[in-house]
Amino acid sequence: MKGKISVKEERCKGCGICSYFCPKQVLRVDELGKIRVIKPEDCIACGQCELRCPDYAIFVDRVAEQKEKSEV
Amino acid sequence: MVERSYEKFFRQNRLPHLWCPGCGNGIAMKAIVQAIEKIPELNQDNTVIVSGIGCSSRASGYMDFDTLHTAHGRAIPFATGIKLANPKLNVIVITGDGDCTAIGGNHFIHGCRRNIDLTVVLFNNNIYGMTGGQASPMTPLGKKATTAPYGSIDRPFNACHLAEAAGATYVARSTAYHVQHLVTMITGGIKNHGFSFIEAMVQCPTAYGRKNKMTDPAKMLEWMKDTAQMKNVWDKNPTDEKFPIGVLYQSTAGEIDYSSAYEKVIEMAGGI
Ligand SMILES: Cc1ncc(C[n+]2csc(CCOP(=O)(O)OP(=O)(O)O)c2C)c(N)n1
Ligand code: SF4
Ligand code: SF4
């Protein structure tokens, strides 16, 4: 299962709770104090970020993993 | 992205809320609306949110129910009035550690004593947040506050013990780290037919954290993760190093709740 992350940027206050609890280092708070999804492909849809965001600014939806196209 | 179902319980035009970056109040507020969502009988027309004064008490302004933002320490008396006027309403009180156990301490114990069917959620950040960090009756020993620059020497209240001793019929504790558990604790409180008290530990990185070298809200949450213990585990080895979370007390004696007792008085008085 993969995750698709959506951010409501106007709500984010850059507290860093989501990035701290992300087990895959997918997120980082940028210089302007907003959350950035730096490694979207590494998201495992665990939902830890969404669970504790005090501002309801980050959401993760589960998406079925795309099958790699085989060469043959 | 599919809009989250709990968003309907927020006044969208009032968000983002005014709490500081990383403040735990936002986590506890979401836990309350998720608990409401879990109980099908509760809806926006039969649920009332009542709060006192403080950062935590601002929550009522963001929640799309009938809401009352009352006077400091007085949320429980207002909630009592609502419940007496219309016992069918589900009344949830949001309060802070100062609001509930300092200026509102007397109202709190008497609400418990009467077993009024309220669900009181105390957002415990261990400090007076709104007024800049004075010690509250729940500031732990040795912790600093603007009014305790050398560390507090006042022994803190254990509000859960206080609630139980005063007569509350459901007493639970959880934390902003244990979000789903917190939702379950609040749901249990709403379902209890009598006075329910839930202590939600929340981080205040600004007023409490700055004074006590814990300014990172994520680390404060991690402290909750490491220090909280499920009640059944804590009971085997009670220690001050940890604190128990879970349902700490639930009455099985079937005490009558205040509205039902009052109903009988109304009957005796001829139904007026
Ligand atoms: C009668 C009265 N006294 C004092 C105040 C000032 N006051 C506002 S909030 C507050 C303390 C809030 O602390 P707490 O209840 O712990 O809530 P928090 O802000 O930490 O969430 C005080 C003393 C007031 N508003 N009204
Ligand atoms: S937890 Fe929420 S508010 Fe904090 S940085 Fe992440 S998205 Fe922003
Ligand atoms: S002062 Fe503390 S309790 Fe108040 S909004 Fe800021 S972090 Fe939250």
Contact indicator for A52, A21 with CB cutoff of 8 Å: yes
Which listed ligand is nearest to A29 at the C-alpha? 2
Q: Which domain holds residue A11?
A: 2-71
- Residue B193 DSSP code: S
Atom of ligand 3 nearest to the CA of B130: 4
Residue A69 has pLDDT above 70, yes or no: no
ipTM of the complex, rounded to two decimals? 0.95
The mean pLDDT value for A29-54 works out to 97
Domain count, chain A: 1
φ, ψ dihedrals at B119, nearest 5°: -115, 110
The mean pLDDT value for A2-26 works out to 97
User: What was the pLDDT predicted at B271?
Assistant: 82
Counting DSSP H helices and E strands in chain B, the numbers are: 10, 8
B203 lines ligand 3 (CB under 6 A): no
Beta-carbon separation of A52 and B176 below 8 A:
yes
Contact indicator for B115, B127 with CB cutoff of 8 Å: no
Global pTM reads 0.97
Cis peptide before B140 (omega within 30 of 0): no
Q: Which two tokens stand for residue B96?
A: 């802070």
Atom of ligand 3 nearest to the CA of B56: 3
A40 lines ligand 2 (CB under 6 A): no
Contact indicator for B158, B130 with CB cutoff of 8 Å: no
User: What was the pLDDT predicted at B164?
Assistant: 98
Q: Which residues of B touch A51 (CB under 8 A)?
A: 179-180
Q: What is the pLDDT of residues B91-128, one digit of tens each?
A: 999 999 999 999 999 999 999 999 999 999 999 999 99
Residue B54 has pLDDT above 80, yes or no: yes
The mean pLDDT value for B157-174 works out to 98
What's the Cα-to-Cα distance from A50 to each of A27, B127, B143, B182, B187, rounded to whole Å?
A: 12, 27, 31, 15, 20
In CATH, what number is assigned to the domain containing residue A67? 3.30.70.20
User: What was the pLDDT predicted at A65?
Assistant: 76
- Alpha-helix residue ranges (DSSP H) falling in B152-216: 159-166, 179-191, 210-211
User: What was the pLDDT predicted at A1?
Assistant: 75
Beta-carbon separation of A13 and B179 below 8 A:
no
Q: Which two tokens stand for residue B229?
A: 């213990």
Contact indicator for B146, B173 with CB cutoff of 8 Å: no
Altogether, the residues listed in chain B come to a count of 272
- Residue B10 DSSP code: B
Nearest CA among B177, B93, B98 for reference residue B133: B98
User: What was the pLDDT predicted at B210?
Assistant: 96
User: What was the pLDDT predicted at B37?
Assistant: 98
B24-268: CATH, from 3.40.50.970, 3.40.120.10, 3.20.10.10, 3.30.470.20: 3.40.50.970
Cα-based angle A9, A12, B67 (whole degrees, multiple of 5): 110
* Protein residue whose Cα sits closest to atom 4 of ligand 2: A15
- Give the residue from A5, A34, A52, A63 with the most B CB atoms within 10 Å of its CB, the best one to mutate: A52
CA distance B145 to chain A (A): 23
User: What was the pLDDT predicted at B272?
Assistant: 67
User: What was the pLDDT predicted at A67?
Assistant: 60
* Separation CA A42–CA A37 (nearest Å): 10
* Mean pLDDT, all residues of chain B: 97
* Separation CA B130–CA B19 (nearest Å): 10
Contact indicator for B82, B67 with CB cutoff of 8 Å: no
Q: Which two tokens stand for residue B75?
A: 């949320």
Q: B267: exposed, middle or buried (C-beta count within 10 Å: 0-12, 13-18, 19+)?
A: exposed
Largest Cα–Cα distance in chain B?
A: 62
